[in-house]
Amino acid sequence: MINRRTLRAGLMGVALCIAAAPGLVQAQSLRVLQGNNARPLDVPMNRAVVVESDRPFAELSIANPNIADISSLSDRTIYVLGKTPGRTTLTILGADGNLLSNVDVHVTPDIEEFKERLAQILPGEPIEVRTANDGIVLSGTVSSISRLDRALELAQRYAPESVSNLMSVGGTQQVMLRVRFAEMSRSVSQSLSSSLALGGTALGGDLGLSAGTNTLSSNAGRTGALSGALPASGTSNGSTLFGFNAGGVEIGLLLEALESRGVVRTLAEPNLTALSGQEASFLAGGEYPVPISQEDGAVSVDYKPFGVELTFIPTVVDGDLINLELRAAVSSIDSSNGFTSGSFTIDAFRRRETSTTVEMRDGESFAIAGLLQDDFSDLSGQVPWLGDVPVLGALFRSASYERRQTELVIIITPHLVTPTRGEALALPTDRVRPPSERDLFLFGRTEAPAAGAAGEIARQDFSGSYGYVLD
């Protein structure tokens, strides 16, 4: 009796579970057909492959017809055409409707043709080509960046937006740029002037006369010239004063001559090293403070750089061919042209700069900038009408002229360089040591002799060549 009740309770529980889960009953009525899974089929894009089946088939189906197109040539032969890179599945059914096989179709870019074109365009470059998923993977070491760019551009033709770059660039990729700034400025100025001073009384002292020209037109100048003394304000390198009396009239004649010549030579040779494709900058000089007034009345300070400035981006294009994007400038403070407001003065700047892009090989030089400037000015002044009198008119005239010539040349030379061991390099400070008290007070030496190889260099004469040595 107990067993029957237990059995009835169990059957009722099973029935309730089945009624509560109808989906489970439906799922148990489905099954996945298992056929012979053939090995994956690789089809190049825009190429066709003919596949033969071991058994006759009745129906074919492709999962994604946009990736591959199929057609039957017979009951055992299938024609597969690759259209776009990707993966899809080919299903083959028999005459009884049973699954014969599932074939994974993998459409890849046509790398065989790509390899041929790559070998023709870039011969000798060890570039390895592989397919990955829907794209092309390039690996290996190329000789220059330009060849790397050509390989990537060609790969984009076969797999647009699906190219992976694992290539690296071999060879030397660090560039040292040597820049020489040379400027020569010459100036010549000459001036010649004459001044005449008259003084005296007439008619028993009732009528006085005092007159002068040029430098002697002031009271102090006339008084000094008539008393036999040169004017204190004279700035000429050469001056001669003649004076004599004509009755009650004193006459003073002052001849002034000035000639000045000046030469200024400026030379700078900055050297800077940078990795290919990276920017490097250089400044040898300083920064000049410029006050700037704010809207609230406060004053801030902005600093303007001056000196020798250099900024460049080197790119090793092919082998020893170097592309240079360069900006160079030479500036200095010009106190003669400034701005004065209240109690402070802001100086002006003289600046010569250039910006250009050039290509050259290792060790070659290029004059990227040159300036030839020739300024000339002359001035002639005279007393009206009296200066036009022949011979005597020279006493009432003054003339001066000034000429300034400036030449500026900027020459650049790039070098491919590699790092070296630190022991092979020497600093200028290695040749000088601070003196001891004995050397300073007893022998008057401002530096102590260095030992070793640096000391041998320090004891040599400085009359020879100097600078950087490049092998």
**Candidate from 135-139, 274-278, 460-464 with smallest mean pLDDT:** 460-464
How many Cα atoms occupy the beta-carbon half-sphere of 149 within 13 Å?
7
Q: Strand pairing of 99-108 and 299-318?
A: unpaired
Separation of alpha carbons 368 and 414, rounded Å: 13
Residue 467 has pLDDT above 70, yes or no: no
Shortest CA distance to 160 belongs to which of 134, 199, 188?
134
Most confident of 175-179, 256-260, 382-386: 175-179
Q: According to the model, what pLDDT value does residue 219 have?
A: 67
pLDDT of 414: 92
- The pLDDT value given to residue 18: 44
Whether residue 328 is predicted with pLDDT greater than 60 in this model: the reply is: yes
Phi, psi angles (nearest 5°) of residue 230 = -70, 145
Distances (CA, A) of 208 to 199, 204, 229, 246, 248: 8, 10, 22, 15, 10
Tally Cβ neighbours within 10 Å of residue 416: 19
Is 188 a residue whose pLDDT tops 80? Answer: yes
Residue 313 confidence class, pLDDT cut points 50, 70, 90: very high
Amino acid identity at 29:
S
**Ordered structural domains, the chain, with CATH:** 41-108 (2.60.40.1080), 111-169 (3.30.70.1770), 422-459 (no CATH)
Query: Which one is predicted more confidently, 91 or 452?
Result: 91
Q: Are 183 and 210 in contact (CB under 8 A)?
A: no
pLDDT at 201: 61
What average pLDDT score do residues 331-341 get? 81
Mean pLDDT of 83-96: 86
CA 471 – CA 464 distance, rounded (Å): 19
Q: Over range 20-47, report the average pLDDT.
A: 59
| Residue 274 pLDDT greater than 50, yes or no | yes
pLDDT at 451: 61
